[in-house]
Amino acid sequence: MSYRTTTRSIFRDSWPDIVASFKEIYPEILVNIIDAPGEELSELLRAGRIEIALSHSASGQDIESVSLFHDRLVLVGNINSATTSNRSLAWADLGDEPIIAMVNGTTIRALIDAACAQAGIQLNIVLTPRLIPTALAFVRCGLGCAILPNSVPSGSEFSDLPQYELVNPNIRREIAMMRLKSSARAPAAEVFAKHLSDRYCQRIPE
């Protein structure tokens, strides 16, 4: 038995453990994984290339989403222009800080743009990578601070980098397991979906 699923970088560190634990229980089930950008997941579901997608919750009358957890946007890196005595910053306080933001068209960039619109600010964006590991590598080299979901740096080799909660507004993101309503999942996929739901409700704090 086999089925296909899609993941993104938010699952990079926890995903191997979850798949390994599933294989220990169900060694006869073959899990095929496609690593694709979050903005492409809906089309992959509609094309029948995958049965389960894990990412930022997508909208659409033909897609069913089951929430796994929420994360929030944080600033990652050493701050140059702003000063703070705690670990939170208002969006308006970013000023001329060099910002590394994900490329246009990604779900993270859409959330960043929405937050800037609410705060009435324009960020000093200096780099726009497509991949989160690239953004974090730029931060490590001192090229700026990245705005990323807190579920990414907290579980990566970059967890030693400073992190600041971004407030006013607080931007939260729902991470969900998605499927196409018109297509019945294979029994193996249903088993794996339950395994995912059970594991993720315990793994990533709010």
Residue-wise pLDDT tens digits, 105-114: 888 899 999 9
Per-residue pLDDT at 173: 83
Task: Encode the chain in three state secondary structure.
Answer: CEEEEEECHHHCCCHHHHHHHHHHHCCCCEEEEEECCHHHHHHHHHCCCCCEEEEECCCCCCEEEEEEEEEEEEEECCCCCCCCCCCEEEHHHHCCCEEECCCCCCHHHHHHHHHHHHHCCCCEEEECCCCHHHHHHHHHCCCCEEEEECCCHHHCCCCCCCEEEEECCCCEEEEEEEEECCCCCCHHHHHHHHHHHHHHHHHCCC
What is the average pLDDT value for the chain, to the nearest integer?
81
Q: What is the pLDDT of residues 161-199, one digit of tens each?
A: 899 999 999 998 888 888 888 877 788 888 888 888 887
Per-residue pLDDT at 59: 61
| Averaged pLDDT, 25-51 | 81
User: Is the model's pLDDT at 2 over the cut of 60?
Assistant: no
Whole-model pTM: value is: 0.73
User: Is the model's pLDDT at 26 over the cut of 60?
Assistant: yes
Q: What is the pLDDT of residues 63-95, one digit of tens each?
A: 888 888 888 999 999 887 555 556 889 999 998
Per-residue pLDDT at 85: 59
What percentage of the chain reaches a pLDDT higher than 90?
A: 31
